[in-house]
Amino acid sequence: MKKATAIALLLLLVIASFALTSLELDFDGTKVLYFAEYFDLYNEVTAFDEAEIAWVTDGDTVNLIRSKTLKLIEPVRLIGLDTPETVHPSKPVEEFGREASNFAKKVLTDREVILSYDWDPRDKYNRILGYLWIPVEYSGETRYVLFNLLAILNGFGHAYTSFTFNENYMQTFLVAESYASDNALGLWGLQEVVIDTPVEETNPGYDPTVFITNTGTKYHREGCRYLKDSKIALRLSEAKRRGYTACSVCNPPQ
């Protein structure tokens, strides 16, 4: 089994009011950013399989083998990650698509991983929906890096929240995307980044925190009654970019 080594950079960064410990991970010469606190996400994993990567299709889709006995190769769509297209049958190769695909190939090819699942086991194309966890050695222990999150944090894809998934993971993915954007990492370093839903900012310095749920289409103020069962924090500009509209009950900032 290939294992990456994690080297602490002794740097504290503040993201969403939390201090995170920055690490440099080295996957066979491919060096990437991760945060030590993200190792704890693996603690939520319950249902999982050991698997081996057969090949990488593109930045957010892989083929792997879950059963070493049957040797059945199965396609997996990575939850919460959306990368520019490279192999879509009706779309041209999108900008930064090859870079995202090559990143996935460098990090994942021939690697043994843990495949975990969410509430929805397959997508409409019958692909498995899953999270890929890569074992690394850190502080004398084997810990697990979430590749879906790793790609977003390093600017090789967007947080894909059109379909809901684990609430804690979803919020972490959004924070990681904001970090990559703020630091012009990967595709965010391009001169122009195409945004599906343009937002007019009358006051660029005003970008308060609002809240969304894992099922709704509205954004809310903290304390809104609709946040009783689910509450995910993000910036107002990000909520608008993703197509959320203001709740008429709590009347959040607009």
Q: What is the pLDDT of residues 115-170, one digit of tens each?
A: 999 988 999 999 999 999 999 999 999 999 999 999 999 999 999 987 888 989 99
219-238 confidence digits (pLDDT tens)? 998 889 888 888 887 778 87
Token representation of residue 116: 């975990």
Locate the domains of the chain by residue range: 4-189, 198-254
Backbone angles phi, psi at 219, to 5 degrees: -110, 155
Give the pLDDT band (50/70/90) at residue 12. Answer: very low
CA distance 39 to 204: 34
What topology is assigned to 4-189 in CATH?
OB fold (Dihydrolipoamide Acetyltransferase, E2P) (2.40.50)
**Among candidates 169, 155, 49, 33, which has minimal Cα distance to 112?**
49
Catalytic sites, residue numbers = 77, 85, 127
**8 Å CB contact between 63 and 73:** yes
- At residue 229, the 3 state secondary structure works out as coil
CA distance 106 to 241: 31
Please enumerate in sequence order all residues whose Cβ is within 8 A of that of 139, keeping only pairs 6 or more positions apart, or say none: none
User: Chain-wide mean pLDDT for the chain?
Assistant: 85
pLDDT given at position 3: 59
Q: What is the DSSP string of 53-83?
A: EEEEEETTEEEEES-TTT--EEEEEETTEE-
- pTM value is 0.75
Read off the DSSP letter of residue 194. Answer: -
H-helix or E-strand containing 211? Answer: strand 209-212
185-215 confidence digits (pLDDT tens)? 999 998 554 444 444 444 555 678 888 887 8
- Which spans in 183-248 are helix H? 236-241
Strand 128-138 with 73-78, pairing: parallel
Number of H helices, E strands in the chain: 4, 15
